[in-house]
Structure 1
Amino acid sequence: MKTTIQFIFAFLTMGVCISGDCNAGHGKTTCITEDLLQMFIRVNRQSDIKPGRKERTAFLAFLKNNPVLSNNVIKFDDVETNIGHHYNPTTGVFTAPKNGLYILSSMIMAYGGTTFHYEWRKNDAVFSNGYTNKTSSGSQSQTFIVELKKGDRIYIKHRISSGEKLHGGRNSYFSGYLLQ
């Protein structure tokens, strides 16, 4: 984009020739050139804020094994993406780095034709429940748009004390990103 703006700037400053008065007796060509130069400087300053410098947050973590859970936090330990490192695979918790609107998603697959009961938690309070059916590949996907404050903690927890099992091998995942 910088190259395009530079080309336009060069073209306009070389080809514009308008007669008349401008501030302090300068011709309009000079005024247009000065205005374009100021606009070019502003655009360059804004483009110096590169996308990589902006704080981005995104994560995608899969489940490696087929854990038997008993009312514990699900630790999605096969991390594919963790921009900003706000998801902790050791604890299974995503911590919001700043206030904003987040998209959070999961796909939970029960192991071997069993059921699996789980819940989404925000700061230890349940905000959604999930359940998979007793089928050979019983699964459930959920996606939420959630407003979070800096420091809010989100995680998925098994909600039954029995020995229900999750299907690992990258069949179950937890993901999220900062929308705005």
Structure 2
Amino acid sequence: MTMLVTVQSARAEEINGHLNIHTMEKLIKAQGETIERMELKLTNLEESIGHVNRGRRQAESVGFTAVLDHEEAVHTGNMVKFNKILYNAGNMYNPITGIATIPTNGVYLFSFSIEEWETPELSCRLKVDGVQKVGAVIVPNHHSDQAGNTAVLHLTKGQSVWVESTEGTVYGESGFYGTSFTGVLLY
């Protein structure tokens, strides 16, 4: 807008087809300021695109899916240890402890599914550093049943995420993985 006003005033100050030196200096200054603003906008746009691209690359390199491939007795307050890793980019999940450790700050998606058929009622909870985020309850009534839940969470590097259960038996079978735990960095 400044440049347009300057150009209009330059036309008004035009004398015999020539601009005076003062008017030329104002035009050049206005063009320089416009170029500086455009360069700043371009730099900001390039940085924004870079953040988006880095976020996509990170999301592709951090995530896991682990399953339980056998039947296992669980006890109230214990972590469900999903022993078979199907995918574990960034070594986020530890099948020995049952804990996913957050490798970098960001927004993550976590999901779990539990299959059960012997316990009258079994509940599981997704926990972050011991604090419940979401839960699921299974009441199988003498046949196989599944329950699960999903959460999108903003987490920081070093936090721990796991699935905890009440007393009962969790079902898993090699080849059919009805009990699973997944986590992935979205951005």
Counterpart in the other structure of 1:138: 145
Counterpart in the other structure of 1:77: 83
Aligned equivalents of 2:98 and 2:126: distance in 1?
Answer: 12
TM-score, length-normalised on structure 1? 0.65
Out of 133-142 and 91-100, give the one that drifted further.
133-142
The yes-or-no answer on 1:165 pairing with 2:162 is no
Q: CA deviation at 1:129?
A: 2.4
Aligned equivalents of 2:117 and 2:100: distance in 1?
Answer: 24
Cα distance, 1:100–1:54 mapped onto 2, change above 3 Å: closer
- Using the aligned pairs only, state the percent identity: 24
Q: CA deviation at 1:111?
A: 2.9
Q: CA deviation at 1:175?
A: 0.4
Superposed CA offset, 1:35-75 (max 9, x none): xxxxxxx9xxx8xx999975710100000111111121000
Q: CA deviation at 1:172?
A: 0.3
Secondary structure of residue in 1 paired with 2:96: coil
Q: CA deviation at 1:124?
A: 1.2
* Equivalent position amino acid for 2:151 in 1: F
Instruction: Give ranges in structure 1 of 5+ residues lacking alignment.
Output: 1-41
Out of 142-151 and 53-62, give the one that drifted further.
53-62
* Among candidates 138, 150, 154, match of residue 147 of structure 1: 154
Detail structure 1 runs of 4+ shifted over 2 Å in the superposition: 49-55, 111-115
Whichever structure has more helix as a proportion of its residues is 2
Instruction: Give ranges in structure 2 of 5+ residues lacking alignment.
Output: 1-45
Q: CA deviation at 1:97?
A: 0.5
* Equivalent position amino acid for 2:155 in 1: L
